[in-house]
A and B are shown apart, each in its own frame.
Chain A
Amino acid sequence: MSVPRGAVHAKWIVGKVIGTKMQKTAKVRVTRLVLDPYLLKFFNKRKTYFAHDPLQQCVVGDIVLLKALPERRSKHVKHELAEIVFKVGKVIDPITGKPCAGTRFLENLSDSENLTEADTTYLSEKLQELKVCSTN
């Protein structure tokens, strides 16, 4: 029976980088939800994986996607870096594509810079109409 990819069970995993002190290798912590048999509640269970990162582009705190290698690269390294999902400090919201920090966007979302003269005059006229004038 051929094993096309992965001498390891986990083919694609998402984790957080906790160490980059090794050359071209990132230490990644992966959490999975495991059911406690008595409380019947899910808790995070951590496991650390080592991933091959040839360009050393990971920083501690990145969220990365790891892909299983077809065969083990060394005694502990069985995965490689597929993609950095969220770069620490430079998170990009995938829905809008804009950089954000926490629950707010970093740059102005409205396109007020691209408005032409005609647009601004039209908008100011509309605003004048909306102004409620007090009549005695």
Chain B
Amino acid sequence: MGQLVNSDNRMPGADKEADLTERIEAFLADLKRGGCGTGPIRGSGETARETTALLRKVTAQARWSSAGDLMEIIRKEGRRMTAAQPSETTVGNMVLRVLKIIREEYARSRGSSEETDQQESLHKLLTSGGLSEENFRQHFVHLKANVIEAINELLTELDGTTDNIAMQALEHIHSNEVIMTVGRSRTVEAFLKDAARKRKFHVIVAECAPFCQGHEMATNLSKASIETTVIADAAIFAVMSRVNKVIIGTQTVLANGGLRAVNGTHTVALAARHHSTPLIVCAPMFKLSPQFPNEEDTFHKFVSPHEVLPFTEGEILSKVNVHCPVFDYVPPELITLFISNIGGNAPSYIYRLMSELYHPEDHDL
């Protein structure tokens, strides 16, 4: 944290920076602790908001003279944060969003046209007159204010995501439908509750062993007077023939349109495909990540298997291998629709949304 230490030792300044360092350390500690199976301590929406707020503080307080310096600082912080909990991709996504904001504000300050020709394209290859290396070294007086304003806009967007998604519920859920969902997703909960205000329908929740978050989801839904049934994971295929739609949440949306969701989701997706039931994924834009599902070592997360086979079963333990993975990969062919805060999209369109949110050079922090 070299840049953030104020060498003048002015009291209020030093206080603010110590406060910032403390907040970042507390955030990292929270992230690391959130590695247990029941999921992170706070939902991904809150993680995204906290990350963005921290990045805004860093922008405001760190010492930088050009956009290039700021991007370096943000990248460094981003690397620390993603290293604390690699499976929590929203942190990395927010860092990438902020980096894109900085690039855009820089381009706007320079007066270059707002054409989003930032990506490599055949057109660019043919018409550019020289290997222009943007090094972001120019200094602009209002850059700091502009960047902070843009980050504030991002925060407002983050605040409204769940509501934006829930607003679309009435278009997708009709009366007397049977909807299936898996485990617990705050987004899907809000989605279903919003539709329940005007429609009557039935929800089947798969409990999603071994952490059984489905139970909590069912309790919350029934409190909103929605008829809910909880089923065991083994019954998913059996019940699927009676289901009209499957609506699920996810932890991450990958760059190819696939999902990294709670384990058990692939089963539901396959059963839905077999019965030709539409599979709808409610995922806010901040869950979109530029990763592909190829890095097997970082893709999966395993937690303590004592939920699967408790330590009390001592005799068996020495003779078997027990795994407890947290995530599942769902390929894009099984998904019908993505509902995000900017509307509904097909999985084949994800590449376009990605190019609007992130810059390709930032993909590897």
Same complex: no
* B contact set with A: CB distance below 8 Å: none
* A contact set with B: CB distance below 8 Å: none
